[in-house]
Structure 1
């Protein structure tokens, strides 16, 4: 009897040890994911490209290897969504009153929603754009000393079309983009955004300035036929023991910028930190949690496509969640965890929207190396995939490394510039806190005024 009791005690002690230190995230596992996802052969995993699909397939195969199941209602690990990315013929025309201006002859279409635009002219001095108020649906002609920053302000104020005289800043932008009209990608089911930006030469600017406010401005574009394109989310599911306990959602995005302008001769934007690092975190947390005892709550592991194109993968996921939104207890997004932020305590990730809910502080109290975001002016909380779900009421935040890392959106965001020991330790610190969250009755809540509104 004494031997049995001792054995039982040893078993209980072993279980307790497992609950605290039973899983080690091995650095070679972390490096292996990065070696593949951020390799040159993946060509930067551009949004809604074959390279993105390969990355999603890799993640799906890892989910399968860890023993994750298909999410409820799914018959595989991949969720696809058709996207629209128009290609224009380069012969747009701009009609204002009796005047007609043509692309290539005084008109340069910098960016476009991909559809025709009709709006009423409103002339605004660029220096006064912040005071212009509601510009919703207007065709704004910027006058005075114009800048691209003023154009962005006009678009945020709702302008359907922004016209500005061509200058050195615009010429630099044209050089950087190779003279191509920038056209966003959107879900096929989504609406075109207000992206249309037109530069005009001095003669065209004079002609436009002579028009009366309220004159009808019409931009006509011509779309070329394109084959269908899709973006891909990789989704794995770890069923919990209590179907009524809810689901934890752990996410990252698996795409990056693909091939872009050369910097020091390098055109591949590998995205090792942004966001192969976050994808690696999701993979290794899936690895750890799937290897342990069954959790009370279910866990969804999702790596989104097309975040860089406007968070399209998470937008589609939010509209087609495998479990009801009301059952999502919390979402932690992992973004750029590949390097230590110098403003954060050693070995600590920043957690966006720290004071908006009690999720971050509670995970930190259970050992997660998380702390308050030191960059409130950057609005990181609103700039990652967590925000799509936060707007729908889910307590959703992002854990990140260096918030303003110099390699951001550069070709040198590669394996050589990762801090793999930091990254490994950060993932390790989250294993047991997330295991606790998925095994407890604790339900995170928004602080007063913390939930964002549409």
Structure 2
């Protein structure tokens, strides 16, 4: 048996041997054991929608069962699966102008569909003031992603042609020559986005000098289908009318890179998954609360938040019964900007949830990086957009090991993690036994 499995088994046996009072406390042994297994070599970085992610979900589900949690309402087990359909180029794109090929065209972002239309020359800074057109030849020095976001807000543009620059060359290199094509959950609606194609400077300038150029884009694609897995456990409440508390994290990471490097993801987000497991164990040991509590570990956050999106579209309880969602992500290290032992809550100022938890002893405070828009960058946002008061708690959101090969158990601060998780137990227990319902503040709801 591998070392990670041995540690997990040893911790399980040791904690089960504890008296009930001790089981209601967060255990550093359990924290280390979960981290060691989830971020160990055996799970190869828990790549999104892979067999390794499925093993991680099965592990979490087995722990939920062992803690005495039940399958969620309407489910006959602890796993919720969904199919993801992603598009991939099977041949290079082709772009023609008035029927003649435009050599050197490179796609950055695409819908995977052919597009035809007359190219309208549009200054980037004037996009919001001009009548939108299906095909835009965008001039000016605005960064490509800003052009994309501006066009997305207009809804109408389907194809953006931009001039090659050092920035676009870096983007192509970062994408390894493969455009970012859409993925979607099988059976769920997909919102179309504009495609972005980069043209060599000479070709771009030649088209911009002409009028009424008929452009046609061909994008040959194939479908890649994979399955993502959520693990869900349910601690029923004593009052079905009191609502439900949702505690969540994502269990996937970046998997194995093309060069064979394993991206272990000990902090992102084995640490959050470990927190959900420890909260499940300790809260279950305390007995039933007034409100029911859902414990969820989502799959496929790293490639687009698919697990949380599927959960939001297929929740085991109606979303309007969820009084609050606390997502835990990256609590394996302490941010030096925060008071010692403290975690940040994204969007703290948007609702009363952070203040409620803090008043009961949770070591949480406001996000010191508002310019980074972390509130919109985690699984909480999938539910926040649907009206649920949902926030993410993090230890250090800009930790130097983020998305690197150094995000390993060796770089996790186990004592900090243990204290941080422990600080959430009583506040969450109090909220689960309360009649109080966290609310969005004016202007806080996304």
TM-score (norm 2): 0.88
Structure 1 residues 390 and 203: CA distance shift in structure 2, 3 A: same
Shift in Å at residue 250 of structure 1? 0.4
Match of 1:429 among 405, 423, 429: 423
Which one is further off, 230-239 or 381-390?
A: 381-390
C-alpha distance in 2 between matches for 1:73 and 1:449: 35
Structure 1 residues 21 and 220: CA distance shift in structure 2, 3 A: same
- Residue of structure 2 equivalent to 1:240: 237
- Residue of structure 2 equivalent to 1:142: 138
SS at structure 2 position matched to 1:240: coil
8 Å CA contact 2:74, 2:316 repeated in 1:
yes
Shift in Å at residue 133 of structure 1? 4.5
- Residue of structure 1 equivalent to 2:169: 171
- Residue 230 in 1 paired to residue 227 in 2? yes
8 Å CA contact 2:152, 2:194 repeated in 1:
no
- Residue 344 in 1 paired to residue 335 in 2? no
- Residue of structure 2 equivalent to 1:393: 387
SS at structure 1 position matched to 2:431: helix
- 1:432-451 CA deviation, whole Å, 9 max, x = no partner? 11111111212112222222
- Residue of structure 1 equivalent to 2:5: none
Shift in Å at residue 92 of structure 1? 1.9
SS at structure 2 position matched to 1:346: coil
Shift in Å at residue 332 of structure 1? 0.5
C-alpha distance in 2 between matches for 1:354 and 1:21: 32
- Residue of structure 2 equivalent to 1:33: 34
C-alpha distance in 2 between matches for 1:225 and 1:437: 45
Match of 1:218 among 204, 216, 219: 216
Match of 1:161 among 159, 162, 176: 159
- Residue of structure 2 equivalent to 1:250: 247
- Residue of structure 2 equivalent to 1:260: 257
**Number of matched residues?**
425
8 Å CA contact 1:135, 1:157 repeated in 2:
no
TM-score (norm 1): 0.86
C-alpha distance in 2 between matches for 1:384 and 1:230: 20
C-alpha distance in 2 between matches for 1:384 and 1:134: 34
- Residue 416 in 1 paired to residue 388 in 2? no
Which one is further off, 109-118 or 289-298?
A: 109-118
Match of 2:289 among 271, 277, 295: 295
C-alpha distance in 1 between matches for 2:199 and 2:305: 31
8 Å CA contact 1:113, 1:192 repeated in 2:
no
C-alpha distance in 2 between matches for 1:47 and 1:364: 33
SS at structure 2 position matched to 1:360: helix
C-alpha distance in 2 between matches for 1:398 and 1:147: 30
8 Å CA contact 2:24, 2:281 repeated in 1:
no
- 1:209-236 CA deviation, whole Å, 9 max, x = no partner? 23436x553322122354x312111111
Pairs within 5 Å for 1:21-420: 23-101=24-102, 105-118=103-116, 120-126=118-124, 128=125, 132-133=128-129, 138-145=134-141, 147-158=143-154, 159-188=157-186, 189-191=188-190, 193-194=192-193, 196-212=195-211, 215-224=213-222, 226=224, 228-260=225-257, 267-420=261-414
8 Å CA contact 1:353, 1:397 repeated in 2:
yes
Shift in Å at residue 381 of structure 1? 1.4
C-alpha distance in 2 between matches for 1:224 and 1:64: 39
Shift in Å at residue 208 of structure 1? 2.5
C-alpha distance in 1 between matches for 2:379 and 2:174: 27
SS at structure 1 position matched to 2:382: helix
SS at structure 2 position matched to 1:122: strand
8 Å CA contact 1:97, 1:211 repeated in 2:
no
8 Å CA contact 1:43, 1:258 repeated in 2:
yes
Shift in Å at residue 399 of structure 1? 0.9
C-alpha distance in 1 between matches for 2:58 and 2:20: 31
Which one is further off, 237-246 or 193-202?
A: 193-202
C-alpha distance in 2 between matches for 1:386 and 1:320: 15
- 1:76-101 CA deviation, whole Å, 9 max, x = no partner? 11111111111221232223333333
Structure 1 residues 107 and 236: CA distance shift in structure 2, 3 A: same
C-alpha distance in 1 between matches for 2:262 and 2:23: 39
Any unmatched runs of 5+ in structure 1? 1-17
Structure 1 residues 171 and 289: CA distance shift in structure 2, 3 A: same
8 Å CA contact 1:114, 1:192 repeated in 2:
no
